[in-house]
Amino acid sequence: MSQVVGPTYLGPVGHPALGIRIPEILLPGILKAFKKRNVAGGLMLSFGRETAPEWVINAPYGKYEITQGHTGTSIRKYMTMAAEASIREGLIVEIEADHLTIAPSSAEAVKRISEVKYEYRMSKEELEKSINYVKAEIDEAVSTGYVNFYTIDTCFLIDYSVKNLGHEQVKSMFFEIFGDCAKDILKRYSSREYIFIGELGIPYKYNFSQEEVMKFAIKYAESLKATKLIYDYIKSKMTKPFGVEIAFDETPVLTDPKEMLFYMKELWEMGIRPDFIAPNIGFKKRKDYSGDLKSLERRVDRLSAIAKSFGSLISIHSGSGTTPYSGKGIGTYEALLKATGGAIKYKISGVYIELLFDLLASYPKGTRQRELFETIFDNVYDFLKKQIEQDGILASPELKAQLELYEKEVSTGVREEKDSRADFFRYYSFIALNLRDSEDRRFLRESIVELYNEDVEFRERYDKEVEALTLRLIDGLKYENNVLKVMEWLTRQ
């Protein structure tokens, strides 16, 4: 057994990374699963949505967007609780600052992952404000003394408009943006052939035309620039080893392998060596993968081969499926294992809260558990209805359609009223943890924690369900005993 315990930078080693939205009730089951399978894993929250600095969490209701730190759990709280619990249990964990997101607002970041389809161009003022906020988030994370990993997300800064430009426009814009560096960028890729061999034994060959290089450079210029700025800020604050992941998945289309190759090579030119990169492989949040598994296998094999050539591994986002029990659908884990040789990071978060609400809903009517669920459901439903009526920050055609579908299914007897599996609730119930009462208390979050602490039967049942969900992921992606690989990394010469 390892003598290393507590928060530790794991390096480019495959592991699960799990969101602890309510650490008070999630850590026991998750850490029990880690211990049972001798696993070193990541504990995280998304800085773009789920968590926030204490001054945001403690602010009066309405001062900040309700989507900002929507778990009601501050950066300091989740990192401290995760670190202390891992030390008590004698486990190695990585404390991750997930999704340091450059975005116009947390609401826009939420819409991006909630089936709302659109492209957004940030203004100069929005960019400056977002960068300053991310720096403040990093400051609080560093101040805990526990953080050792960061995922940087600058996908909002990708310029998709370049696809509509003609050759002369592209050329003119390229030389205008990059000036004296333009020729060096072209030289890096001209007359070069890149060959990568993946786990399937297939050689993948890439070369770049000058026009492709210019288009990619324009498309990713602002994203790369912001990534470098955030990375340099992290580096200036950290006094111990840390790792970095690049979120490359928050895009409207599948990741083009050639574009990922370009992005990673430019990162290396900037002096950034990410441990992981997360491409868009066709996964959708809260849905089982429904595409062709052989195509998925080949797609991930290509991307993984490119990542490994830079000393990086693939990270999988949007890892939860249609239910807390479905993984990502039959055969999906197996396809990922074949394509990566098991060298893969896999993230889940919201599914643990989905599991919680499903469990509360399963109790008989009139019980404390069922009544708490119904209170949660009613408050979420009422809040979202008002969002649509008042054109609030979460209003969208997709949310309106989900609410209308639920109401139609209830009125026609297709679905029971207050069904935890209703799409609008599955996609937006996260907001429950940040709703306040007349005394400005996060009354629903507090009630959940109170129930967990006071009801032994419920606590034991939920702990077992959390442990079982975590074990399904660990066993499905064969993470057991990954501590041995971590120790090889930690003791490297």
pLDDT in tens, 229-282: 999 999 999 999 999 999 999 999 999 999 999 999 999 999 999 999 999 999
What are the structural domain ranges in the chain? Answer: 6-354+480-490, 356-464
The percent of residues above 70 in pLDDT, for the chain, comes to: 97
Q: Kindly report the length of the chain.
A: 493
Give the model's confidence band at 1: pLDDT under 50 very low, under 70 low, under 90 confident, else very high.
Answer: very low
Instruction: Write the single-letter amino acid at 60.
Output: P
Long-range contacts of 442-445 (CB under 8 A, 24+ apart): 442/72, 444/375, 444/376, 444/379, 445/22, 445/71, 445/72
Listed in sequence order, the residues at least 6 apart from 417 whose beta carbon sits closer than 8 Å to its beta carbon are 410
CATH 3.90.1300.10 given to domain 6-354+480-490: no
Question: What is the tens place of the pLDDT at every residue in 369-426?
Answer: 999 999 999 999 999 999 999 999 999 999 999 999 999 999 999 999 999 999 999 9
Give the angle subtended at the CA of 41 by the CAs of 40 and 46, to the nearest 5°: 160
Q: Are 259 and 216 in contact (CB under 8 A)?
A: yes
> Residue for token digits 């030119």?
269
Question: What is the tens place of the pLDDT at every residue in 278-311?
Answer: 999 999 999 999 999 999 999 999 999 999 999 9
pLDDT, position 319: 97
Distance CA 53, CA 77 (A): 9
Give the model's confidence band at 493: pLDDT under 50 very low, under 70 low, under 90 confident, else very high.
Answer: very low
Give the angle subtended at the CA of 37 by the CAs of 35 and 40, to the nearest 5°: 65
Distance CA 198, CA 256 (A): 16
Quick count: other Cβ atoms within 10 Å of Cβ 261? 24
Please give the helix or strand (H or E) that residue 251 lies within, else none. Answer: none
**pTM for the structure as a whole:** 0.96
pLDDT, position 116: 55
Distance CA 247, CA 100 (A): 9
Quick count: other Cβ atoms within 10 Å of Cβ 269? 13
Q: Are 312 and 14 in contact (CB under 8 A)?
A: no
3-state secondary structure 151-213: EEECHHHCCHHHHHCCHHHHHHHHHHHHHHHHHHHHHHHCCCCEEEECCCCCEEEECCCHHHH
Comparing CA positions, the residue from 84, 66, 64 lying closest to residue 20 is 84
